[in-house]
Chains A and B, each alone.
Chain A
Amino acid sequence: MKIIVIACGIGIATSTLISEEVNLILEEKDISAYLIQCRISELDAYAEEADLILTAMDIDAEQGQALGTPVLTAIPLLTDINREEFIEKMLKYLS
């Protein structure tokens, strides 16, 4: 089962919104994954076990690379702008 880590400022507010959206999408596509919410400062700790990282914000490119796991900014899920594009990318990483 895939592990998706969702990071936001405190790991409670925005990441909950994103997590709900991701759950709906995963249900639709019949993919099972385990969602973990965390704070942005804890990403290093969770990066190893994660198959995909979704963040509520853009993070620095070097930080993203240093994590070793693919990172996607999940803002399209919050704004519904470029949503389809984002979902495609996300599903690609989960397959």
Chain B
Amino acid sequence: MPIEVLMYNLSFNLPAFMFIQIILILMGVCMKLDFQKFLRASLTVGVGLMGVAFLLETILHNLSFVPDMLGSKFQMENVSLDIGNFVISAVSFSTAIGAVIIPFIFAVNVILVKLKLTNTVNTDLWNYWHYAFTGSIVWLSTGSYALGLFGAAIHLIITLKIADVTADLVQSELKMKGVTISHGFSSVFIPVFALLDRIYDKIPFFNKETEPKSLPAYWAWFSEPTLLGILIGLVLGFLCNDYSKGFMSTVETIMFVVLNMVALVVLLPRICKVIMEGLIPFSKATKQFVDRLFVGRSVNICLDSAVLVGRKNTVHIATILVPIYFLVAVFVLRLQVIPFVDLTTLIFFVAFATPIHKGNARRTLVSCLFLTVFSLFGAASLSPLITEMVYTSGLHMSTSTTVIGVTSLVAGGNYVAILLHYLLNQGVWGFVAVILVTTVVVKYTIQKEKNRAIKQDK
């Protein structure tokens, strides 16, 4: 059955992003929230998603000539534009998986805690989008809604277990107890960074502390969103121009591209702010619910990985990575991915690397280089699925024959989604493999926790 039909059927013939509003209203009723409050909140989320869908549709339609031009002038195939994790998060909530993700993930989390398989409760509802994304990708590629939910649950289990094991690190960084971070994107890279750290220990180059010098003012063109939009818009405008149409037409095209690019990086995040505001009352109610549910049991609650971005090197390294992303995208990937909006959120990429490498700038930078290459390849590989997800969730299907592919560096770095998408398409063996790997991860982390507890008691 075609995906769009499935979504319409599941959402009673409404555009996909309206489905989540119904679920939120039901949640409000079940949690016995104040009627005015949750009705306001649900509609706020709904109109925020609507805003993203309609604005995105316009901008993508405006930019749909880009792949053709790049293809015909530079033989660049499969170009996709990084439209940023704000859009992808909104779209993830708009799918039929995303609509039910909040009660589903929360229920799975509570069950895991009750079964004593984890000590972490994730009430950061906005960040549920990562799980919705993984679930939607799996659903789209396998065609099975149940497998999609299964994929989302697996992603949750892995981030919860990583959160359990890193609770110490987070608590010592923030100097407070009872918290951890279970972030669908940042958390899954912790084992990678931890492994790299052990390798760096053996190489003298990485044992020197360096003080990064402060960057001159022109680096703002790479770090400030509007300036970045203007810069990339200008480059893209120059590249995608049909210069035969005369001077005025050329200037118009360039200005048009710049305007649309800046709109992507300035307007869309602000509309997502509306969605986040709508989720706040639900977040609060969930937290209170958790307090009542686990009285007497010390669980760690989750913070967003934003709380780790304060270290001096983090912002610095995030800015340096921007031109590196371009170099890799152009020379290694032949611009299959145009890094753009997510470049303004690179601090989240770096956020976990800095504490694990104990602030060592060299180690952090090299680890983030790995992340750069990986996220670009991941973004390129997931681009077809992401494009399908974006164009079918509440947007009218584009009437022009070319559509501009879309992707996101943050979503591309989500290797859990990539692995699940690959494995769950391999039939029964893939499914069994996923269960095996997850069981191993759970057992390994529980054992690690026990060992740590024993060491502490000694």
Contact = CB atoms under 8 A, between A and B. Distances in A.
Given A41-B223, A75-B174, A79-B178, A57 B344 contact: no
A79 B303 contact: yes
Interface in B289-348: 301, 303-312, 315, 319, 344-345, 347-348
B41 to A, nearest CB: 11
Given A12-B272, A16-B276, A17-B280, A56 B176 contact: no
A60 B176 contact: no
Contact of A78 (B126, B276, B303): B303
A50 to B, nearest CB: 17
Interface of B: 86, 126, 173-179, 223-224, 269-270, 272-273, 276-277, 280, 283, 287, 301, 303-312, 315, 319, 344-345, 347-348, 351
Contact of A9 (B126, B177, B311, B347): B347
A57 B174 CA distance: 8
Contacts of B223: 41
Contact of A58 (B269, B280, B310): B310
A25 to B, nearest CB: 14
Given A58-B174, A75-B174, A14 B344 contact: no
Contact of B348 (A9, A42, A82): A9
Given A12-B269, A57-B308, A79 B280 contact: no
A58 B306 CA distance: 10
A2 B37 CA distance: 29
9 contacts: A10-B269, A10-B344, A12-B269, A12-B270, A12-B276, A40-B347, A41-B319, A56-B307, A56-B309
Nearest to A9: B306
A60 B348 contact: no
B306 A14 contact: yes
A49 interface: no
Contacts of A9: 304-306, 309, 345, 347-348, 351
